[in-house]
Amino acid sequence: MTLLENLPDEPKSGKNVITIALRFNDGKRGQRRFDSDTASMGDVFNWVDAMFEMERERLVLSTMNGQRTFVYGDDEEEMNEMMLKDAGLGKMAALRVTEQVEATKEEESSDNDENDDEYDEEGED
């Protein structure tokens, strides 16, 4: 089954329904309803991956005010299993969607050089 096929059915509005509105850097928008008692943050990440063709492992979802940030893979099981009702979001939540930036080889090399310098200093007496 695909991620899209595994998504829970979108509920009609109701007491336990939360509406997630997405805002992308390129101006795209998306919106979907979830049952806050049965849907998890993992379902939201799967929705973004399936509908917007962005790898969930590279996504960062954050509230518009920046107070809450959700990253797929941070305490992966805990994050993916966190129910929407426990995520600290209201009945309507707007989330900014960004992709994690991987460190370039040059940055990684620079970090390794710094670590080498620290090692050399510690090794010299």
For residues 18 and 33, the answer to whether their CB atoms sit within 8 Å is yes
The residue among 115 and 101 whose pLDDT is bigger is: 101
pTM above 0.95, yes or no: no
Other C-beta atoms closer than 10 Å to the C-beta of 93 total: 20
For residues 32 and 69, the answer to whether their CB atoms sit within 8 Å is no
pLDDT at residue number 108: 52
pLDDT at residue number 118: 52
How confident is the prediction for the chain on average, in pLDDT?
Answer: 82
